[in-house]
Amino acid sequence: MGNEQDALNLVNEQVEYKWVGTRPIRPDGADKVTGRATFGADIDLPGMLTGVVIRSPHAHARIISIDTSAAAALPGVLGIVTGADLPELPNEIAAGGEAPINFRSVSENAIARRKALYDGHAVAAVAATSVEIAHEAAALIKVNYEVLPHVINVLDAMAEDAPVLHDDLITKGLEPAPTKASNIAGKVEFAMGDIEKGFAESDVIIERSYTTEAVHQGYIEPHAVVASVAADGMVNIWCSSQGQFMVREFCAKLLGMDIGRIRVTPAEIGGGFGGKTTVYLEPLAVVLAQKSGRPVRMVMTRGEVMRATGPTSGTHVHVKLGAKRDGTFVAGEMVLKYQAGAYPGSPAFLGGMTGFSCYELPNAKAVCWDVVSNRPKCAAYRAPGAPMASFGVESAIDELAQTLGMDPLELRLKNAAKEGTATIYGPKFLKIGYLETLLAAKAHPHWSAPLGPNQGRGIASGFWFNVGGPSSASVHVNEDGSVSVVTGNPDIGGSRASMAIMAAEVLGMDLSKVKPLIGDTGQIAYSFLTGGSRVTFATGMAVCDAAKDVVRQLRTRAAKMWKVTPEDVEWRDGSAFCTKVEEGKERAPLTLAAIAHGAARTGGPISGNVSINAAGAGPGFGTHICDVEVDPETGATRVIRYTAIQDVGRAIHPSYVEGQLQGGAVQGIGWALNEEYVYDANGRLQNTGFLDYRMPVASDLPMIDTVLVEVPNPGHPYGVRGVGEVPIVPPLAAVANAVSHAVGLRLTSLPISPPKLLAAIDGAKAAG
């Protein structure tokens, strides 16, 4: 099962597939376009209460007391939860989620204990028989705060005299360890070669600082959960998340329960982008359900989503890049300072691991700082940490090309990582397709198209590891020969379509007879969450293995029906063919339906159940080309042409792969041009809705063109590489480089919003 030989046999660039690479209608499409799909907020149970969260209006405050008596006395109020209702957890790093996790932080982020650490931090929640009563009760809960000085920005938070959020936070990774608490949670370094020597040998050195702002994942569906507790104490949770097993594990940890006492059913999910890889409302809803004895539904408003979930870090990135006069990279250094939000855990280290990984760079160093401040605790966002580091590095490369008088694409081609290139984090690359994306960019008509006045073109590349990990799949043959494919991963990017396609391909059967389903935590074995661009790769591999097992069983059943050995049966095009020639015995092929129909007489139902820990995820690389036009009198930037090129290994369903590239590019464009968190002097978030948190709307964008480069991943039966995260890495620098060329100024601070760009243009004019 799933051995490497099997995988290698299937990966062949010449193979013609029946279903892989086609574009059928997605299995969940009809329900979604007709409004029938059931999202977290759509779950409705008899007797259900509404839960509402009370949130801190202060950026930093000690909670002196919480008086819930008036709220509790209000008729219709059946449950109240405060931090005192959740167990205190040890301050330790545990395995879980996408990266090591301190569950104490997750718990305190879900509901504050001694201190509220950001505007919007949950301090209590109430459940009542109507939404109106719940809100009335929320207003009756009296929280007595002692307001403390706050700090919002990363450099301010690192200052010696900054207000300290956690009096027990001692910087990790410093020798000797500091004795005083600070906001600097940790320092991590990656290095290879000798950068001192490298810079000494460099003919040209580009050195600059870059900044980016915190940005939200911007999923359309706010967090929503329904929790219910059975008479025997068993907990049922329905919610939209990126992993039902993650929700089960996190709730068990936060509530001090056994995993076996919790069942989580995944709802449809209206976008996650990494932001739904943790819990916020779920543990509160469970406690309210336990206290009230009634099911409880909690749904965030957009304002709550903006104030208290996500985002990813705002950053300060310093890059130094040294090269020979012919453009050969010699040395690179990055110092990354990332906002973690109120609790440690920014993806600074991932920025350090990815920033230089597109290139052959013999001497490199990355110093990564994780810094807390009075902002919501950051959550994963599509290639967490990589876009900000890449913005710095890819901007520096663009400037290096200008300095050397070289074409920026040729400069990248000259230094591109390839099979055997060493990475700053250790391993050498196996078969990768970065070079191919650059060659595709060079050949694309976009790269050589003429530009008009006030227009500029930028190019940038990006890298993401992609991961594998534990996944499970069950492939059931139904009595009529149709097939159910059950997996344990919420579908955030069209993965059900890919699972069905891969199963149909292995089984050689009609795709329309394959039904992909997502099981709850009681229906399918453990699967790691939907994240790290892993599902089509890892869960897809489990599906392929389970389907192959079904094929093996079908051959055995056919052999029984024909009274031959399984070796005498060949499986192709969805039917069994007998290869044993015997005088006087005509054995017509047996279809899957015929075998399924007779399954009771040949050994019972036919199903394949596979659980694997998938290794061999192929790294992904992308190169984006962006054209902009700048209005020099208003500083408005319009993206007028955009092409996203990526090595996708093999596109199982090309439309959804293209959609991933387009979506990532658009989120990156928003990050580059307009999205940012705006705080007032009191540390209160000012733009808590989509009106003033400006993600791009459709009319802001040109069609995002895509080019799928297919360099199959040898580690997957069909050559799949993860595709979802790479496309958000290049756009920040692609846009900034394009704007820099359009206005003749180097823009180093995102977002390049109209006021900022106009000030830069006018400032340069004034300076002559």
Partner 1 sequence: MNAVEYAKPQSIDDAIRCLTNAPVGARVLAGGTDLLVQLRAGVVRPPLIVDLKGIAELRRIESTADGFRIGAAVAGAELSEHAEFSSQWPGITEAFNLIGSTQIQGRATLGGNLCNGSPAADSVPALIAAGVRCIVVGPSGSREMAVEDVVTAPGKTVLTTGEFISQFLIPARAAHSGDAYLRFIPRTEMDIAVASAGVCLTLNAAGVCTAARVSLGAVAPRALLVAACADALIGSTLDDAAMAKLAAAASAACAPINDKRGTIEFRTKVAGVLARRAVTIAAQRARGN
CB of 521 to partner 1, least distance (A): 35
Q: Which of 420, 306, 391, 330 is nearest to 689 (CA)?
A: 306
What is the x/- site pattern for partner 1, positions 262-301, by CB under 8 A?
----------------------------------------
CB of 761 to partner 1, least distance (A): 11
Q: How far apart are CA 316 and CA 566, in angstroms?
A: 63
SS3 label, residue 124: strand
DSSP calls for 592-648:
HHHHHHTHHHHTS-EEEEEEEEE--PPPEEEEEEEEEEEETTTTEEEEEEEEEEEE-
CB of 301 to partner 1, least distance (A): 9
- Please pick, from the candidates 44, 92, 132, 146, the single residue that binds partner 1 as defined by CB under 8 A: 132
Q: Judged by CB, which is closer to partner 1: 65, or 699?
A: 699
CB of 751 to partner 1, least distance (A): 9
CB of 613 to partner 1, least distance (A): 45
Q: How far apart are CA 616 and CA 315, in angstroms?
A: 31
CB of 445 to partner 1, least distance (A): 26
CB of 135 to partner 1, least distance (A): 8
DSSP code of residue 480: T
What is the x/- site pattern for partner 1, positions 600-639, by CB under 8 A?
---------------------------------xxxx---
Q: Judged by CB, which is closer to partner 1: 647, or 676?
A: 676
Q: How far apart are CA 59 and CA 120, in angstroms?
A: 8
Q: Judged by CB, which is closer to partner 1: 139, or 443?
A: 139
**Tokens 């007028």, located at residue:** 640
CB of 138 to partner 1, least distance (A): 11
Q: Containing H/E element for 290?
A: helix 282-292
Q: Judged by CB, which is closer to partner 1: 534, or 641?
A: 641
Segment contacting partner 1 (CB under 8 A): 1-9, 398-406, 514-522, 748-756? Answer: 748-756
- Locate 489 and state its tokens: 């991963």
Q: In what order do the strands lie in the sheet with 61-67?
A: 115-116, 61-67, 142-147
Q: In what order do the strands lie in the sheet with 569-572?
A: 569-572, 575-578, 590-591
CB of 80 to partner 1, least distance (A): 19
Q: How far apart are CA 541 and CA 530, in angstroms?
A: 14
CB of 633 to partner 1, least distance (A): 5
Q: Judged by CB, which is closer to partner 1: 304, or 505?
A: 304
CB of 652 to partner 1, least distance (A): 34
Q: Judged by CB, which is closer to partner 1: 50, or 202?
A: 50
Q: Give the torsion sign (CA, 66, 69, 74, 78).
A: positive
Within 8 A by CB and 6+ apart from 116, the residues are 56, 58, 60, 61, 63, 123, 145
Q: Judged by CB, which is closer to partner 1: 57, or 163?
A: 57
Segment contacting partner 1 (CB under 8 A): 105-113, 130-138, 261-269, 422-430? Answer: 130-138
- Locate 149 and state its tokens: 């000085």
What is the x/- site pattern for partner 1, positions 555-574, by CB under 8 A?
--------------------
Beta strands 296-299 and 49-55 are parallel
Q: How far apart are CA 513 and CA 506, in angstroms?
A: 13
Please report whether residue 220 would count as binding partner 1 according to CB under 8 A.
Answer: no
Q: Which of residues 640-699 bind partner 1 (CB under 8 A)?
A: 673-674, 678, 686-687, 691-692, 694, 696-697, 699
Please report whether residue 754 would count as binding partner 1 according to CB under 8 A.
Answer: yes
CA geometry: angle at 295 spanning 74 and 107, to 5°?
85
Q: Which of residues 505-534 bind partner 1 (CB under 8 A)?
A: none
Q: Judged by CB, which is closer to partner 1: 613, or 686?
A: 686
Q: Which of 97, 173, 723 is nearest to 377 (CA)?
A: 97
Segment contacting partner 1 (CB under 8 A): 200-208, 284-292, 413-421, 758-766? Answer: 758-766
Peptide bond into 87 cis (omega under 30): no
How many angstroms separate the Cα of 327 from the Cα of each of 360, 400, 681?
12, 8, 46
Within 8 A by CB and 6+ apart from 158, the residues are 182, 183, 184, 337, 369, 371
CB of 273 to partner 1, least distance (A): 20
CB of 141 to partner 1, least distance (A): 16
- Locate 188 and state its tokens: 């991590």
Please report whether residue 759 would count as binding partner 1 according to CB under 8 A.
Answer: yes
- Locate 144 and state its tokens: 């007595």
Please report whether residue 129 would count as binding partner 1 according to CB under 8 A.
Answer: no
DSSP code of residue 335: E
Q: Which of 750, 666, 737, 671 is nearest to 700 (CA)?
A: 666
CB 560 within 8 A of CB 574: no
Q: Judged by CB, which is closer to partner 1: 6, or 631?
A: 631
Segment contacting partner 1 (CB under 8 A): 247-255, 358-366, 497-505, 756-764? Answer: 756-764
CB of 37 to partner 1, least distance (A): 22
Q: Which of residues 690-719 bind partner 1 (CB under 8 A)?
A: 691-692, 694, 696-697, 699-700
Q: Total number of residues binding partner 1 (CB under 8 A)?
A: 27
Q: Judged by CB, which is closer to partner 1: 30, or 678?
A: 678
Q: How far apart are CA 61 and CA 56, in angstroms?
A: 8
Q: Judged by CB, which is closer to partner 1: 501, or 639?
A: 639
Q: How far apart are CA 139 and CA 133, in angstroms?
A: 10
Q: Which of 332, 437, 448, 304 is nearest to 389 (CA)?
A: 332
**Tokens 């208003």, located at residue:** 634
Segment contacting partner 1 (CB under 8 A): 194-202, 480-488, 489-497, 754-762? Answer: 754-762
Q: Judged by CB, which is closer to partner 1: 637, or 660?
A: 637
Q: How far apart are CA 120 and CA 305, in angstroms?
A: 9
3-state helix, strand, coil in the chain (%, to 5): 30, 25, 40
Q: Judged by CB, which is closer to partner 1: 52, or 578?
A: 52
Q: Judged by CB, which is closer to partner 1: 220, or 678?
A: 678
Segment contacting partner 1 (CB under 8 A): 11-19, 150-158, 582-590, 749-757? Answer: 749-757
Q: Judged by CB, which is closer to partner 1: 215, or 335?
A: 215
- Locate 133 and state its tokens: 């009563």
CB 129 within 8 A of CB 51: no
- Please pick, from the candidates 590, 706, 753, 760, the single residue that binds partner 1 as defined by CB under 8 A: 753
Q: Judged by CB, which is closer to partner 1: 591, or 687?
A: 687
Q: Which of residues 299-358 bind partner 1 (CB under 8 A)?
A: 303
CB of 503 to partner 1, least distance (A): 41
Q: Judged by CB, which is closer to partner 1: 37, or 758?
A: 758
Q: How far apart are CA 520 and CA 490, in angstroms?
A: 10
CB of 736 to partner 1, least distance (A): 16
CB of 690 to partner 1, least distance (A): 8
CB of 496 to partner 1, least distance (A): 31
- Please pick, from the candidates 755, 765, 766, 768, the single residue that binds partner 1 as defined by CB under 8 A: 755
Contact footprint for partner 1 (CB under 8 A): 132-133, 135-136, 303, 633-636, 673-674, 678, 686-687, 691-692, 694, 696-697, 699-700, 753-755, 758-759, 762
